Amino acid sequence: MRHLKLDTDAQGVALLTIDVADRPMNVLMPEVEAELAEAVARVRADAGIRGLIIVSGKANGFIAGADLKEFVEAYERKTTQAQGAERSRQFQRLFRSLETCGKPVAIAMNGLALGGGLELCLAGHYRVLSDNPKAVVGLPECGIGLLPGAGGTQRLPRLIGVENALPMMLSGRHVKPAEALKLGIVHELATPGEEVAVARRWIDSQPDPRQPWDKPGFRVEPASVFIAETRASTLRETHGNYPAPLAILGCVAEGVPLPIDDGLEVEARYFGQLLAGPVARNLIRTTFINRGLADKLARRPKGIDKAPAQKLAVLGAGTMGGGIAFAAAQAGIPVVLLDSSGDLAERAKAAISVRLAQDVAKGRLAQDKADALLARITPTADYALLADCDFAIEAVFEDAAIKAQVIARAEAALPATAVFASNTSALPIGGLARTSLRPGQFVGMHFFSPVERMVLVEIIAGQETRPETLARTFDLAGQLKKTPILVNDGPGFYSTRVVNAYINEGLDLLTEGVAPALIEDAARQAGMPVGPLALADEVGLDLGLKIARQVDTLEAGRSRAVATLDQMVRQGRRVGRKSGTGFYDYPEGGAKRLWPGLAALYPPAAEQPGVEEIKQRLLYAQALEAARCVEDGVVTHMPDGDLGSLLGWGFPSYTGGTLSLIDTLGIANFVEACERLAARHGVHFAPSAWLKEKAGRGENFYPPVV
């Protein structure tokens, strides 16, 4: 056996060590399962073995789960529901054979046991968990669009009750040792290193080698009211966009009252449905695989030495500048925070100080850490202080002339080798770089608001940006713990362009007489975190108007949206959320409310469209704009487009992102739907010849799995 080792001692206790070859952590995959089946058969058949202890050969934990590669490819390989169910049954048969092998089985868990790893443990008769700070157990499958299909949905509720098991499976949360013991997921905690000895003591006590559910009279407390309430709240939260939580509810409701083998069959059927559908593929690919690659800076130009920023200049101490300075100071980087007056810069630092004081008061931050962080920020209006900064980020007003002035003054003070990044929302980097003395060192670094919470940063390569500059920008993104995507230049680059398409579609609906509450609600039902009108307020209507004017030159028939924003701004509804007036009112201390004045400006039509139609328009407008970004060469790497949409503005993760949404439908179907929309709602929905040709060739955005 390549991954497993079975040793039996003189007293007849077998020790099965799992150490999956060529992997940093133990994962379940067909080869490992086959060896496990062989080992179980030997334990069952060998009369000299009176008990089994299963351990991990890796110091970093027990088993991290199943290998996700298989599951992400299942959809691409057109796995049917029946094949998916059969895959679940393979796991189930293996674990069932373990718990019915006739010998007591103890699992000595030295740490982390997640997903299939925990499901294996649940099939043991006795679980001992190491009481170490890194040890966690959990069933996180729901988060990747699947369910614990190796018996987890059946064993966990039978073991700890439906009311404990269901929330754990729906949230996928990690449970630490003390709670795992309290809930009854494990029987005993052990001092790290003592797990096997504790397991051994249990085996020596000559226990009954049967699971509770295999003993006569076993039953689980029915929890039908709890299940019904959980189903209702799940539907409210997910709007039915995510099949996995509903499938888990189904497994528990239908399977747990049955004998275990019948319950497992219910689970297998639901698992098959999920594996054959696109949501699991979308969630695993984008939120797990692509995200992981981006975090490892896979798109950083190769062959260039790492060069972390030593001292950062942040120019403009407003919303974004303050946030960037804070993030940098948090990462240990000294920051010069410059504004047009010393007062304004001081004020930004004072705001950071207030936030830190709140964190200290709540016990989230130690006073000395807060002091050190604050001491890293030097507020100023004096450009001479930039003399030793090796990286500068500009975040002044969105105005090309002002930016040009700031670039010139900063470059005169910065060292000749410094990188200069602009946080502009939409001004092309090439245009700004023309005002720079060193266009090769000029780059776009687009953060999202609020900077401390939003993990995405969009790096924009101008035509002249050198690979070394990009590499250093990636390094800074890494220092700031942001997830970078890399796109090419153009008005609005990628994210602003697509967000603009979303807001514009919302404004179109409004001017057509669709009730604003219906627009906002449909957007949330589609899975967007905020409606397009609320998002326009977040951006600020005056900034939105500038952006729309900048970006709309790309699109035909878009002047209507510009006109709407213009009209709102002229009504004095300027700065959205910041000023308390936009499409919404923001009463002090109260929840935001749609501005009643909207009804007079945009009277609702007598007949309102259906929710599905609005949802489709709002999502497809974004997806189509993302496709145009690929066509224009702004997005060259599909994961950048998908991840950017998910992390940048919360495009719903069940779709996998803007481009995966199209792939999931198939480009030909998407093109057809857009043509129908174009006929009814305007040429901005017209798919390009390029996209139609791509559809004609039967292509996808992502290459097919071979």
Give the shortest CB-323-to-ligand NAD separation in angstroms.
Answer: 8
Q: How far is the CB of 422 from ligand NAD (least distance, A)?
A: 7
Residue nearest to ligand NAD (CB): 318
Of residues 432 and 635, the one with the C-beta less far from ligand NAD? 432
Kindly state the tokens that stand for 225.
């009211």
* Beta-ladder partners of 52: 14, 105
For ligand NAD, the closer of residues 344 and 562 by Cβ is 344
DSSP H helical segments within 602-666, as ranges? 611-631, 638-649, 658-665
Residue 425 touching ligand NAD (CB under 6 A): yes
Q: Which of 157, 321, 491, 652 binds ligand NAD (CB under 6 A)?
A: 321
Question: Looking at 8, 286, 423, 660, which residue binds ligand NAD (CB under 6 A)?
Answer: 423
Nearer to ligand NAD, 340 or 608 (CB): 340
User: Which residue's CB is nearer to ligand NAD, number 75 or number 383?
Assistant: 383
Cβ neighbours around 175 below 10 Å, total: 21
CA distances from 316 to 78, 371, 379, 393, 422 (A): 52, 23, 10, 9, 11
Closest to ligand NAD by CB, 247 or 539: 539
- Residue number, 16 or 541, with CB nearest to ligand NAD: 541
Among 319, 525, 608, 700, binds ligand NAD (CB under 6 A): 319
| Per CB under 6 A, 344 contacts ligand NAD | yes
CB of 425 to ligand NAD, least distance (A): 3
Nearer to ligand NAD (CB atom), residue 404 or residue 668: 404
Task: Map residues 386-405 to x or -, x wherever contact with ligand NAD holds by CB under 6 A.
Answer: ---------xxxx---x--x
Residue count at the site for ligand NAD (CB under 6 A)? 25
C-beta of residue 374 within 8 angstroms of C-beta of residue 353? yes
- For residue 70, the SS3 value is helix
Q: How far apart are CA 588 and CA 697, in angstroms?
A: 56
Whole-angstrom distance, CA of residue 24 vs CA of residue 31: 16
Give catalytic status of residue 446 as yes or no.
yes
DSSP SS3 for 165: helix
Among the candidate windows 205-213, 292-300, 423-431, 646-654, which touches ligand NAD by CB under 6 A? 423-431
Handedness of CA 79, 84, 86, 92 (dihedral sign): positive
Alpha-carbon distance values, 672 to 11, 518, 667, 668, 695 (Å): 71, 26, 9, 6, 10
- The least CB distance from residue 185 to ligand NAD, in Å, is 43
Q: Which of 121, 142, 317, 526 binds ligand NAD (CB under 6 A)?
A: 317
The total of other beta-carbon atoms located within 10 Å of residue 383's CB is: 18
Q: Which residues fall within 8 angstroms of residue 176, CB to CB, at 6 or more apart? A: 135, 136
Instruction: Decide: 297 and 478 in contact? Cβ < 8 Å.
Output: yes
* Range 87-116, binding ligand NAD (CB under 6 A): none
Is 52 or 406 the residue whose CB approaches ligand NAD more closely? Answer: 406
Q: Where are the beta strands (DSSP E) in 478-587?
A: 483-488, 584-585
Q: How far is the CB of 314 from ligand NAD (least distance, A)?
A: 10
Of 424, 465, 488, 660, the one binding ligand NAD by CB under 6 A: 424
Instruction: Judge contact between 111 and 298, C-beta under 8 A.
Output: no
Buried b (16+ CB within 10 A) or exposed e, 610-621: eeebbbbbbbbb
Sequence-distant (6+) residues with CB within 8 A of 217 are none
Question: Residue 549 interacts with ligand NAD (CB under 6 A)?
Answer: no
For 553, residues 6+ apart whose C-beta sits below 8 A from its C-beta are 491
Which region, judged by CB under 6 A, interacts with ligand NAD, from 152-160, 185-193, 309-317, 585-593?
Answer: 309-317
Site membership for ligand NAD, residue 491 (CB under 6 A): no
Secondary structure of residue 75 in the 3-state scheme: helix
339 binds ligand NAD (CB under 6 A): yes
Q: At what angle do helices 260-276 and 152-160 cross, to 10 degrees?
A: 130
Q: Among 102, 167, 193, 318, indicate the residue that binds ligand NAD (CB under 6 A).
A: 318
Looking at beta carbons only, is 314 or 646 nearer to ligand NAD? 314
362 SS3 class: coil
Question: Taking the CB of residue 215, how many other CB atoms lie within 10 A of it?
Answer: 9
- The correct pick among 81, 90, 132, 340 for binding ligand NAD (CB under 6 A) is 340
Site for ligand NAD in 519-548 (CB under 6 A): 539, 543
Closest-CA residue to 623 (of 685, 676, 530, 558): 685
Catalytic residue among 3, 125, 187, 446: 446
CB of residue 421 to ligand NAD, shortest distance in Å: 11
**Does residue 145 come out as left (phi exceeding 0), alpha (psi in the -120 to 50 range) or beta?**
left
Binding of ligand NAD at residue 37 (CB under 6 A)?
A: no
Question: Is 428 near ligand NAD (CB under 6 A)?
Answer: no
Instruction: Out of 145, 152, 316, 379, name the contact with ligand NAD by CB under 6 A.
Output: 316
The distance of closest approach from Cβ of residue 459 to ligand NAD in the complex, given in angstroms and rounded to an integer, is 13
In the complex, least distance from residue 388 CB atom to ligand NAD, rounded to whole angstroms: 19
Q: Which residue, 340 or 479, has its beta carbon nearer to ligand NAD?
A: 340
List of residues 6+ apart from 1 with CB closer than 8 A: 35, 38, 39
Question: Which residue, among 295, 289, 361, 356, has the nearest Cα to 329 in the 3D structure?
Answer: 356
CB of 222 to ligand NAD, least distance (A): 50
Helices (H) and strands (E) in the chain, counts: 30, 18
Tell me if 412 contacts ligand NAD by CB under 6 A: no
Q: Of 206, 233, 417, 449, which one interacts with ligand NAD (CB under 6 A)? A: 449
Is 500 a binder of ligand NAD (CB under 6 A)? no
Report d(CA 121, CA 177) in Å as an integer. 14
When asked if residue 320 is in the footprint of ligand NAD (CB under 6 A), the reply is yes
Catalytic residue IDs: 446
Binding site for ligand NAD (CB under 6 A): 315-321, 339-340, 344, 395-398, 402, 405-406, 423-425, 446-447, 449, 539, 543
